[in-house]
Amino acid sequence: MLHAHDAHAKFRLRLATRLAVLFVVVSLPGILRAQESKNEQALWKLEHDYWVYVQKNDLVGYRALWHKDFLGWPSVSATPVRKDHITDWITSEATQGLTFQPGELKQATIQITGNLGTTTYWMTSTWAGKDGKGETRTTRIIHTWLKEGDTWHIISGMSMPVPAPPAN
């Protein structure tokens, strides 16, 4: 025979279970968005680090950003490249006595899907000679990052110059 006390206890248990499930269902999107936001911030910081390494001609730090199986197509290359050629464009400019002067780094969008992140942005910069002068150009960049454990590496990417506006 079911006592009123037992029925009330079962009701409270069912209610608590339903409320807990409801709380998880309502909270989960926020928790996932917070994790995405944390990953987006991490990737954007890594993109900033990328350009600091270029400016300092820190090829070791720069190479550390790239996944061992990287495949991409930088705008300065006629063909796709792998990690072993990822610094060619930096050394090509530096051996000519040019120094990298970063300009505006403007984020377009970042998307996180599981352990993959895609960053898209514009970088305006100049490779300047000893006189401080050089051609300023803006490049569109897309990088796909792969997260292994707690570490993100660029696994793929592509860049292309933004055409200069026509002269009047």
The C-alpha atoms of residue 17 and residue 23 are separated, in whole angstroms, by: 10
User: Is the predicted pLDDT of residue 137 greater than 80, yes or no?
Assistant: yes
In a domain, 3, yes or no: no
**Domain-embedded: residue 8:** no
Domain count within the chain: 1
Establish if 44 belongs to a structural domain: yes
Would you place residue 48 in the very low, low, confident or very high pLDDT band (cuts 50, 70, 90)?
A: very high
Residue 5 lies in a domain: no
Position 95 pLDDT exceeds 60: yes
Q: Is residue 17 a part of any domain in this protein? A: no
Q: What is the DSSP letter of 132?
A: S
Is pLDDT of 11 > 80? no
pLDDT in tens, 16-29: 677 555 555 555 55
pTM of the shown model: 0.77
Residue at 89 is within a domain: yes
The continuous run of DSSP H or E covering 85 comes out as none
Beta strands in the chain (DSSP E): 66-73, 81-82, 99-113, 116-128, 136-148, 151-161
Other Cβ atoms less than 10 A from the Cβ of 128: the count is: 17
Bridge-based pairing state of the strands 66-73 and 151-161: parallel
- The domain of 34 spans 30-161
Residue 150 lies in a domain: yes
CATH number, residue 131: 3.10.450.50
Domain assignment present for 20: no
